[in-house]
A and B are shown apart, each in its own frame.
Chain A
Amino acid sequence: QVTLRESGPALVKPTQTLTLTCTFSGFSLSTSGMCVSWIRQPPGKALEWLARIDWDDDKYYYTSLKTRLTISKDTSKNQVVLTMTNMDPVDTATYYCARGGRMIAYGMDVWGQGTTVTVSS
């Protein structure tokens, strides 16, 4: 059974750096074709894809947030970490991690439950 779980602070102050961890089980991110993405959803708004890391350590970022985002993986721990610098109240959202892969045209077939992050002083 494939599962993913997001963890991180529920509240961050403006200008701080957010660090989110996605801990997964049931698959290996060293398997060819596998990837993990981060997606967020502000309250009442659309989904916004943020970043993706592939099995071969290729990394992809949302254009307008590229300078603030860093994605990394620890294959031995089955974790993917996303950091976002200089947080702002507009970054308040539910943050999800999700598994994707070449076998499903890089759709995302298993999602974590999401973690809500509020940016406020």
Chain B
Amino acid sequence: DIQMTQSPSSLSASVGDRVTITCRASQSISTNLNWYQQKPGKAPNLLIYAASSLQSGVPSRFSGSGSGTYFTLTISSLQPEDFAIYHCQQSYSSPLTFGGGTKVEIK
């Protein structure tokens, strides 16, 4: 199975900050990497698919990059509604696997 490792596991940031979250795969997954945002008590929401494609309706301050084994999710200017947990997930091969999540908290 492909292991997905996110870092950091949590971070504190202020409104307006630029935030970057990383996700590493245990083997190459090309660009088959998706990012989700999850708020407390809610289901995850797809932000980015295929490593860098912005899902419809997602603000342009979110962007994704990477290929192979290294990927990043960047929020260019953190907004109050962005405080949440972010998950990466590989869709290269079954079983599809998630990272451990990154909690973005208010500084």
Contact = CB atoms under 8 A, between A and B. Distances in A.
Interface of A: 37, 39, 46-49, 52, 60-63, 96, 98, 100, 104-109, 111-114
B14 interface: no
A37 B96 contact: yes
A107 B43 contact: no
Contacts of B95: 49, 60-63
Given A60-B95, A62-B95, A96-B43, A47 B1 contact: no
Contacts of A63: 1, 95
Contact of B46 (A37, A46, A60, A107): A107
Contacts of A61: 94-95
Please give me the 9 A-B residue pairs with the lowest Cβ-Cβ distance, nearest first. A107-B34, A111-B43, A106-B91, A107-B49, A60-B94, A105-B50, A47-B98, A104-B49, A49-B96
Contacts, number: 71
Interface of B: 1, 31-32, 34, 36, 38, 43-46, 49-50, 53, 55, 87, 89, 91, 94-101
18 contacts: A47-B44, A47-B89, A52-B94, A63-B95, A96-B43, A98-B43, A100-B91, A104-B46, A104-B49, A104-B55, A105-B50, A107-B34, A107-B46, A107-B89, A108-B46, A109-B46, A111-B44, A114-B43
